[in-house]
Structure 1
Amino acid sequence: MSRQPLRLAILEATRLLEEAGVHSPRVDAELLAAHVVGVERTRLGLVPLVDPEVIERYRGLVARRAERIPLQHITGVASMGEIDLQVGPGVFVPRPETELLLAWALAKLEGTAGQRPVVLDLCTGSGALALAIAHARPDAVVHAVELDPKALAWARRNADTRARDGDTPIALHQGDVTDRALLAELEGRVDLVVSNPPYIPEAAQLDVEVADHDPALALFGGPDGLSVITPMVSNIARWLRIDGALAIEHDDSNGSALAAMLDQRRVFGEVAEHADLAGKPRFVVARRVATEAEAARRR
């Protein structure tokens, strides 16, 4: 049987995904095609014809995506910064919006050249932020915390893969980020805390890909989306050294509430809200400042 045009298969896939309600049908059709033929999406034009069995495999993957199975579960890969991560059932799929928090964190770490900055990633999930930071800053000492054993298994798998590829290993911890006894050995030693915690209000309406496939433990933060973040902030205050920084991703409905929460605490200053590329509130940052008692001890 003769080879077939890949372009026509992509057009058919785009139509099927659009009918299924997929938000980015053309992009997903092209990403699945690139996955099947083993090239970058931007190089699909260099593969005009493929064997019939390739088309059949491609159609099978498109059918799964039309069932609203997440694209990343089908390909087994999600990206963060300059690295790829293995993902699948049982772990939250990293979102492109978190790239903005990562970029802020790496820019903040530029001021620690010549040191070995200590970084703490809370609710690490697949290990996305922790491993992306460790890749970009091999001099950093990176710790990551995850409560869910299934998600932690994915993080360990990704950490092992990155270490085999030559990245600096990270320290993974199973624990509850709201536990006051967690990581007592890091108190006052952390230069940077990053977190993409569970923050979706319980009543929120979610896409099928999220509601049916992302673990609920990674999604929901109580009625207002702040049930994990509020007690976590108290722990962040004790982990951060003076002049250390934090960045917390949040639901677009509670950015101002989180900023106000940090503003009300005397140990945080320079609180600032950051929007995502769609202009929605996405993460809040702050600096750990010295209380009067701490400042007196430093004098």
Structure 2
Amino acid sequence: MSIRPPGERLLDQATTTLTDAGVGSPRVDAELLLSHVTGVPRAMLRLSARPNEVQRRDYLALVAARAARVPLQHLTGSAAFRHVDLEVGPGVFVPRPETELLAGWAVQQLSARGPESPVVVDLCTGSGAIALSIVHEVPTAVVHAVELDEVAFGWAHQNLAGTGIDLRLGDMADAFGDLDGTVDVVVANPPYIPLDAWESVAPEVRDHDPALALWSGDDGLDAMRVVEQTAWRLLRPGGVVGAEHADAQGDTAPAVFAGRWVDVRDHVDLAGRPRFVTARRPADR
């Protein structure tokens, strides 16, 4: 009879606990937490993880917290986003994989400008995920970012320190007046959840992400309307804007840009769900 490695037994126990708690990815989360505690790469956990008693106790405490629906990233203190890692914790919106597509769109728009130094503004920067990805992937870009919430701003300040990004604390509605009419790309992941959607939001988001990053009026588009106005003010003629929205807003979010914008288009995520809208300021206005 073969003896199962202690790491594997511990993982099975944690997976059962997280499954019973309704966590969406119980095995993955169990493995990531054990890797975090032991320092053993996730791929090697089954064979190499030999947690001592202190590590075992710490691990079970983290599993219990995850079962209580504390976000995984709050427990590990970091979140992966495209090619960068960000420090995250209480008080800042945890960047989601879906937003990587919006960041990728911005990177493509900026990269297409060749050796120039394109100017980009990241509204509602939160942890600084999109801004950091852009400066990492397009080093020639001149990146500006703004965040309204003071706690989230503190996390962004940590993540963006030493990058040369111009990070400001303030409201996107009147931010960067000194850049009016000079920006090539505006990108935003604004709050977009309708106020009456409380019950449908996952506990990890509803109970732990800052309210300022979630709720946006009766239809979830109050912030999107501000993005539209601010982007129009900031962009040079021919400049582009991209903004994330809820999957139920595939028609209503693009409608915010109807009228004075051109090339208004909605984009789907990897699951085929509507995820972000892009638009271009006409070259002759």
CA distance in 1, matches of 2:213, 2:41: 30
In structure 2, the partner of 1:250 is 245
SS in 2 for 1:124: coil
In structure 1, the partner of 2:256 is 261
Q: Verify the 8 A CA contact 2:78 2:85 in the aligned structure 1.
A: yes
Deviation of the 1:108 alpha carbon: 1.5
In structure 1, the partner of 2:62 is 61
CA distance in 2, matches of 1:54, 1:92: 28
After TM superposition, the structure 1 stretch with the greater mean CA deviation from structure 2, 96-105 or 50-59, is: 50-59
CA distance in 2, matches of 1:48, 1:196: 38
Q: Given residue 188 of structure 2, which amino acid in structure 1 is its aligned partner?
A: S
In structure 2, the partner of 1:225 is 220
CA distance in 2, matches of 1:282, 1:41: 30
Identity over the aligned pairs, expressed in percent?
51
Q: Verify the 8 A CA contact 2:73 2:94 in the aligned structure 1.
A: yes
Task: Structure 2 unaligned segments of length 5 or more: list them.
Answer: none
Q: Verify the 8 A CA contact 1:202 1:221 in the aligned structure 2.
A: yes
In structure 2, the partner of 1:110 is 111
CA separation of 1:290 and 1:243: change in aligned 2, threshold 3 A = closer
CA distance in 1, matches of 2:227, 2:63: 40
In structure 1, the partner of 2:53 is 52
Q: Verify the 8 A CA contact 2:110 2:141 in the aligned structure 1.
A: no
In structure 2, the partner of 1:199 is 192
Deviation of the 1:256 alpha carbon: 1.1
Q: Verify the 8 A CA contact 1:178 1:228 in the aligned structure 2.
A: no
Q: Verify the 8 A CA contact 2:145 2:165 in the aligned structure 1.
A: yes
CA distance in 1, matches of 2:239, 2:10: 52
CA distance in 2, matches of 1:189, 1:44: 51
Q: Verify the 8 A CA contact 1:6 1:55 in the aligned structure 2.
A: no
Q: Given residue 230 of structure 2, which amino acid in structure 1 is its aligned partner?
A: N
In structure 1, the partner of 2:135 is 134
> Is 1:216 paired with 2:211?
yes
Deviation of the 1:48 alpha carbon: 4.4
CA separation of 1:11 and 1:270: change in aligned 2, threshold 3 A = same
CA separation of 1:40 and 1:113: change in aligned 2, threshold 3 A = farther
CA distance in 1, matches of 2:89, 2:226: 29
Q: Given residue 238 of structure 1, which amino acid in structure 2 is its aligned partner?
A: R
CA separation of 1:48 and 1:40: change in aligned 2, threshold 3 A = closer
Task: Structure 1 unaligned segments of length 5 or more: list them.
Answer: 295-299
Q: Verify the 8 A CA contact 2:82 2:133 in the aligned structure 1.
A: yes
- 1:1-299 superposed matches below 5 A: 5-160=6-161, 163=162, 168-179=163-174, 182-204=175-197, 205-265=200-260, 268-291=261-284, 294=285
Q: TM-score scaled to structure 1, two decimals?
A: 0.89
SS in 1 for 2:184: strand
Instruction: Give the aligned length.
Output: 280
CA distance in 1, matches of 2:217, 2:155: 25
Q: Verify the 8 A CA contact 1:177 1:235 in the aligned structure 2.
A: yes
Write the deviation string for residues 10-32 of structure 1: whole angstroms up to 9, x where unpaired: 11100000101111111111111
CA distance in 2, matches of 1:149, 1:198: 16
Deviation of the 1:113 alpha carbon: 1.5
Deviation of the 1:127 alpha carbon: 0.7
Deviation of the 1:4 alpha carbon: 5.9
After TM superposition, the structure 1 stretch with the greater mean CA deviation from structure 2, 268-277 or 13-22, is: 268-277
CA separation of 1:106 and 1:42: change in aligned 2, threshold 3 A = farther
Q: TM-score scaled to structure 2, two decimals?
A: 0.94
Task: Output the aligned Cα RMSD.
Answer: 1.6
